């Protein structure tokens, strides 16, 4: 009986050690991948100023990949936009004009929204493209780790799937953003089996990326936007 108790105790210790080891490995992978994304974001910010063209960090949450792109459209106005606000206002006016045209054609609100989303995606993808730069090549996020959400200053809610982008501008500004990172968890109430443990914050005025070892809420971004 004593021998069985000793064996069970040793097995419990061994299992615990393995679990801790796997957890530490996941956390190391998460911090490493988040660090690479931070470095790429800073590089995009610097390249945008040096090249006098907008750049963006693209995150594909479905595929678990991120990379950098530059604006390739030969549009002087787009290259020297002093801030994203002016471009967004112009895009908003154009979207409103097209929305009125669609509504005049008696299309439903759902159809109008779907067409607007498709056009916005197509315009963004047409304007940006990959460069032959090893520092901007696609990077695969390690297994057991995910980007669980992205939210930029001009969005009202957190994006949890598909592709998201954070822009950097020649004027020396960046698109204010929060990027949530999560690791697979044994916690039963963890959403989709993953638990968010880290948040990257992209600052607008400096392009600096701050790492928070916690899950910042969307209210953090909304609150600062209202100041």
201 forms bridges with which residues in the sheet?
178, 210
Provide the pLDDT for residue 196: 84
What phi, psi does 142 have (nearest 5°)? Answer: -60, 155
DSSP three-state, residue 35: helix
Query: Is residue 206 predicted with pLDDT exceeding 70?
Result: yes
Q: What DSSP character marks residue 136?
A: G
Q: pLDDT tier at 191 (50, 70, 90 boundaries)?
A: low
Query: From CA 56, how far away is CA 23, in angstroms rounded?
Result: 32
Instruction: Render the burial of 77-99: b for 16+ CB within 10 Å, e for the rest.
Output: eeeebeebeebeeeeeeeeeeeb
Band of pLDDT at residue 129, cut at 50, 70 and 90 = confident
Q: Between the CA of residue 178 and those of 78, 158, 181, 189, 220, what are the distances in Å? A: 25, 9, 10, 23, 9
- Please report, for the chain, the start and end positions of each structural domain, with discontinuous segments joined by +: 2-75+129-226
CATH 3.55.40.10 fits 2-75+129-226, yes or no: yes
Over residues 49-87, the pLDDT tens digits come to 999 989 999 999 999 999 999 988 655 555 444 444 545
For 126, the 3-state DSSP assignment is helix
Name the more confident of 125 and 84.
Answer: 125
Compute the distance between CA of residue 158 and CA of residue 150 in angstroms, rounded to an integer: 6
Q: What is the pLDDT of residue 164?
A: 93
pLDDT higher than 90, residue 120: no
pLDDT tier, 178 (very low <50, low <70, confident <90, very high otherwise): very high
Q: What is the mean pLDDT of residues 147-174?
A: 90
Element holding 123 (H helix, E strand): helix 109-127
Q: What is the pLDDT of residue 81?
A: 46
Residue 1 has pLDDT above 70, yes or no: no
> What distance lies between CA 42 and its chain's CA centroid?
14
Which H or E element spans position 28?
A: helix 2-51
For the cut 70, the answer to whether the pLDDT of residue 188 exceeds it is no
pLDDT at position 116 is: 53
Q: Which residues pair with 168 in a beta bridge?
A: 55, 174
Residue 63 phi, psi dihedral angles, 5° rounding: -95, -15
Burial of 158 (0-12, 13-18, 19+ CB in 10 A): middle
pLDDT higher than threshold 70 for residue 24: no
The single residue listed with the structure tokens 């936007």 is: 225
Contact predicate 168/175, CB 8 Å: yes
């Amino acid at each position: 009986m004593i021998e069985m108790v000793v064996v069970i105790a040793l097995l419990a210790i061994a299992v615990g050690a393995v679990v801790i080891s796997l957890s530490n490995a996941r956390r190391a992978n998460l911090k490493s991948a988040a660090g690479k994304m931070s470095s790429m974001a800073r590089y995009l910010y610097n390249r945008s100023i040096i090249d006098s063209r907008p750049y963006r960090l693209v995150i594909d949450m479905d595929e678990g990949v991120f990379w950098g792109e530059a604006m390739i459209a030969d549009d002087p106005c787009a290259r020297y936009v002093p801030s994203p606000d002016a471009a967004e206002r112009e895009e908003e006016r154009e979207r409103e004009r097209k929305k009125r045209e669609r509504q005049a054609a008696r299309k439903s609100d759902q159809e109008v929204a779907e067409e607007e989303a498709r056009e916005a995606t197509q315009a963004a993808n047409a304007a940006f493209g990959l460069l032959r730069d090893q520092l901007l090549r696609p990077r695969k996020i390690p297994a057991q780790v995910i980007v669980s959400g992205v939210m930029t200053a001009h969005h009202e809610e957190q994006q949890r799937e598909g592709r998201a982008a954070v822009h950097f501008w020649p004027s020396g500004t960046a698109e204010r953003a929060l990027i949530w990172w999560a690791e697979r968890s044994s916690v039963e109430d963890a959403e989709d089996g993953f638990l968010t443990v880290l948040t990257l914050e992209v600052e607008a005025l400096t392009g600096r990326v701050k790492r928070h070892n916690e899950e910042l809420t969307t209210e953090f971004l909304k609150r600062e936007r209202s100041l």
